[in-house]
Amino acid sequence: MPEDLSELVRKAPLSFLGTVVRLGDSRVASVPADDRTAVVRVAEVLHAPDAFKRLGGSEVTVRLSDDLDPPAVGDAAAFFTDGTAYGEGLAVQEVGRLPAEAVQPHVSRAARTADAMPFSAVERDLRDTDMVAHADEADAVVVGVVVGLRQAASPTASGERVSEHAPDWWLALLDVAHVEQGAVAPGQLTVLYPNSRDFRWYDAPKPQASQQGMWFLHATEGALAEWAPFQILHPEDYQPEQNLETLQAARR
């Protein structure tokens, strides 16, 4: 694997194998053609959001990176890009590039496996790496099931005006079966979480009754500690239970 492939996949939401068909051209009106634009015919999408997984066979306008030498017409390469404009055509900003042969092993492996795309395995490795790093930052990691849910306090109990961005704190009662790290004992444990759907809190885990999983807990501070010793705020604070094996394997 090229040394920088993982970092390219991390920072570029869209990558594809393609061949340069024209230089100094653009298929998108909002992206003027100049000596740093190219039209590339996509041979195969390597990783992408759902909306762009079927780009194979289409022509994409690429604003070439100022940090890389421009390719020549006829050159085939793996382009790592970020979106720029989408309308009558797609225009993207190049953030990296690799020779086509550098990613061919991933294309071949995807054809032999159940992976949806050539870089599916790379994306899984990145998610696992991020999960382990996040676990290392947590004050406790437990496996347990949600056995109770209740609002921490009535939002209007104090008579004060409630902001539309208020977290709407709720309490989840976990029945902890396994403690992977932290000063926690198996048994019942109360955890604080924001139940608001406001954009500030939307991505925070929202526990559901009978939900089983692995939970990354963070110590509460100040007045919040009166409600519960731990809270969950980050999208990665909830993990499927089977990810425990991945975490343990990474720490061996």
- Asked if 247 and 143 count as a contact pair (C-beta separation under 8 A), the reply is no
Q: CA–CA separation, 25 vs 56, rounded Å?
A: 20
**CATH class given for the domain over 5-125:** mainly beta
What the block records as the tokens of 146 is: 């949600």
Domain boundaries, the chain: 5-125, 138-152+164-251
Q: What's the rounded Cα separation, in Å, for the pair 120 and 110? A: 8
Of 1-15, 154-168, 217-231, which one has max mean pLDDT?
Answer: 217-231
Query: What is the tens place of the pLDDT at every residue in 106-154?
Result: 999 999 998 899 999 999 999 999 999 999 999 999 999 999 999 997 5
Asked if residue 243 has pLDDT above 70, the reply is yes
Cα distance between residue 231 and residue 66, in whole Å: 44
Neighbours of 88 (CB within 10 A): 9
Span 138-152+164-251 CATH architecture: Beta Barrel (2.40)
13 contacts: CB under 8 Å, gap ≥ 6: 48, 49, 81, 82, 83
What does pTM read for this prediction? 0.81
User: Which value, to the nearest 10 degrees, does the dihedral of the CA atoms of residues 37, 41, 45, 48 take?
Assistant: 40
Asked if the domains at 5-125 and 138-152+164-251 fall in one CATH topology, the answer is: yes
Report whether 234 contacts 206 (CB < 8 A): no
What mean pLDDT do residues 227-250 have? 96
Confidence (pLDDT) at 161? 52
SS3 of 102, please?
A: helix
* Cα 53 to Cα 60: distance, rounded to the nearest angstrom: 13
> Which pLDDT value is given to residue 159?
45
Share of residues in the chain with pLDDT > 90 (%): 87
In sequence order, the β-bridge partners of residue 22 are 39
pLDDT at position 82 is 94
Please, are residues 195 and 206 in contact by the beta-carbon 8 Å criterion? yes
What's the pLDDT score for residue 123? 95
Mean local confidence (pLDDT), 70-95: 91
CA dist 60 and 94 (Å) reads: 11
- Other Cβ atoms within 10 Å of 42 Cβ, number: 20
Q: What is the predicted pLDDT for the residue at 156?
A: 46
- Write down the pLDDT at residue 201: 96
